[in-house]
Amino acid sequence: MASVSSQPQFRYTQPPSKVLHLRNLPWECTEEELIELGKPFGKVVNTKCNVGANRNQAFIEFADLNQAIAMISYYASSSEPAQVRGKTVYLQYSNRQEIVNNKTTADVAGNVLLVTIEGTDARLVSIDVLHLVFSAFGFVHKITTFEKTAGFQALVQFSDTETASSAKNALDGRSIPRYLLPENVGQCALRITYSAHTDLSVKFQSHRSRDYTNPYLPVAPSAIDASGQFSVGIDGKKLEPESNVLLASIENMQYSVTLDVLHMVFSAFGPVQKIAMFDKNGGLQALIQYPDVQTAVVAKEALEGHCIYDGGFCKLHISYSRHTDLSIKVNNDRSRDYTIPNTPMVNPESSVLVHQYNGSQYPPAPPQPAMHQPSGGWGSAPPAVPQSMSMMHNHSYMPAGTMPQMGPGMMQMPGQRGMPPHIGTMPPTRPDRMQ
């Protein structure tokens, strides 16, 4: 690393000024990087980026002259030069006393938003989650994500300034809805400003960049996994390796969820071979094995994001497991192998578990008088219900008499005259759903 003595880092002939001239910056250095560089010495009130033929120069303006002097003095006496992205930056006083007619990027409305995701798990927020959030306000053309000094950031391109402004006004300072994030990701807030860009350049579909206007864009080599298979599809969405075993995580557990309840829910789509339940990360999870991948795919697409009970209780989040054949050593209240013939079923009422979570107990769901009595308003063509499912009863895959009792508002099971379950669709992300 070069010291200041061997590099022409300063030019002393210029009188002190609140405005500093920076040279040898990385290509397309951002305003955020300049502010971060000057922050230890004072408040940066204005910047001018990407100046010069090579676009590797910039100006920063401090609120006070002494702050600019402090920055110059520090790096003049330090053995470590100022750096941005590992490149040595050369500093000097500017011959101007202020940056004139240069509004900051954040003041000029445009069709591209600069989004900073704040939170300890910000880097775990996927590009698909960002697309869901911002698509609530209009068609999203492109998204790119990257890491800067300011943190994990994204550029989101809309069709026009009006749509971008609507999204910015609604989302700036808000948190990403909890139900859109994986269980292991904590709360993440959005800080949004306007970007100077008008049209993002996306050369490949990948987990870091996406062009939704061009589904035929090549897939980046980095988006191909070790087996040689594409990890993102032609539409740019990340592909999750399919499996005949599903991993179900249950959120907002206000009622106890037993193995029999899970068997009832997942048997709506095909014969369930095995189930194993376990506690992880303070919540309940389960592995559900089907005989084939196709059945698991149908179940995942139908159940993801829906609730076992009305009111948003016991919400299902489902992904594919790496397992293909579960090892069930004993049939009990936490695991069961349904492929073993003549296996006695545990009495559903005696198998109700009382789980501990955050110091409170989950009571079993109160029994309903009779399953063949549908709830009020259930006609021949049941309406779709967001976030919970209205299903028919008498499931063909379950032996008679093995149905556990169902609580009020619990999803009804399909099977009557071979009809498929009626699944309500999840509503799109809306501004009023943001936390």
What is the full DSSP assignment across 354-407?
--EETTEE-PPPPPPS-TTSPPTT--SSPPP-TTB-B--S--TTSPTT-PPP--
Name which of 131-135, 234-238, 337-341, 369-373 the model is least confident about: 369-373
Q: How far apart are CA 311 and CA 394, in angstroms?
A: 24
The whole-angstrom separation of Cα 1 and Cα 120 is 31
pLDDT at 410 over 80: no
Kindly indicate the confidence band of residue 106, based on its pLDDT and cuts at 50, 70 and 90: low
Q: For residue 206, is pLDDT > 60?
A: yes
Tell me the mean pLDDT in the region 336-356: 55
Burial (CB count <10 Å: 0-12, 13-18, 19+), residue 144: buried
pTM of the full structure? 0.36
Query: 37 and 82 in contact (C-beta within 8 Å)?
Result: yes
Q: Is the pLDDT of residue 391 over 50?
A: no
Is a pLDDT exceeding 80 seen at residue 318?
yes
| pLDDT for 13 | 59
Does residue 166 have a pLDDT over 90?
yes
Compute the CA torsion angle 268, 274, 279, 280 (nearest 10 deg).
-90
Q: 74 or 220: whose pLDDT is higher? A: 74
Q: Is the pLDDT at 145 greater than 50, yes or no?
A: yes
Indicate the DSSP class of residue 43.
-
Task: Name the residue with higher pLDDT: 383 or 70.
Answer: 70
- Average pLDDT (226-231) is 45
Tell whether the model's pLDDT for residue 246 goes beyond 90. Answer: yes
Q: What is the pLDDT of residue 238?
A: 52
Percent of the chain with pLDDT over 70: 68
Token representation of residue 132 = 């869901």
